[in-house]
């Protein structure tokens, strides 16, 4: 177990802000807005990495320095010890971010969360008197 922890320190770090479409590049986004997803979580990123058959680990006590209120990051290992890739389609950090950002909106927990939020967004408008008061 102690050997795994030493290895994890050398794994690639993936913060949710890197693929968040709500953030600007100055705030930490690293991919194009059109390819990014809205407000990803560490758990969703972890599930997407396991779906892609890439070893990963969540670190909940860590935070991105520019946005320290959002806790958590995911450590990912792209290459085996012999140098071969775990997933041949993903050879770099950028490709990993693009693949994960593509998968997060299709995450099973996300599709259930989004439906009630979109139906309650249309609030009832109150008909009432408007305009200026008479003096």
pLDDT bin (cut points 50, 70, 90) of residue 4 is low
- Residues with Cβ within 8 Å of 35's Cβ and at least 6 positions away in sequence, in order, are 98, 101, 102
Its pTM stands at 0.76
| Residue 12: Cβ-neighbour burial (10 angstroms; 0-12, 13-18, 19+) | middle
- pLDDT tens by residue, 107-122: 888 776 544 444 444 5
Of 38, 46, 1, 47, residue with least CA distance to 19: 38
- pLDDT tens by residue, 71-100: 999 999 999 888 899 999 999 999 999 999
Give the pair of three-digit tokens for residue 35.
Answer: 């390819």
- pLDDT tens by residue, 36-60: 999 999 999 999 999 999 999 999 9
């Amino acid at each position: 177990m102690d050997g795994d922890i030493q290895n994890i320190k050398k794994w690639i770090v993936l913060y949710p802000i890197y693929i968040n479409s709500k953030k600007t590049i100055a705030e930490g986004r690293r991919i194009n807005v059109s390819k990014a997803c809205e407000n990803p979580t560490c758990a969703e990123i972890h599930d997407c990495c396991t779906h892609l058959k890439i070893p990963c680990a969540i670190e909940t006590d860590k935070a991105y320095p520019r946005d320290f209120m959002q806790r958590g990051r995911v450590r990912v290992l792209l290459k085996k010890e012999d140098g071969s890739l775990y997933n041949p389609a993903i050879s770099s950090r950028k490709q990993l971010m693009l693949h994960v950002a593509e998968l997060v909106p299709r995450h099973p927990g996300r599709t259930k969360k989004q439906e009630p939020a979109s139906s309650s967004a249309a609030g009832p408008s109150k008909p009432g008197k408007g305009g200026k008061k008479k003096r």
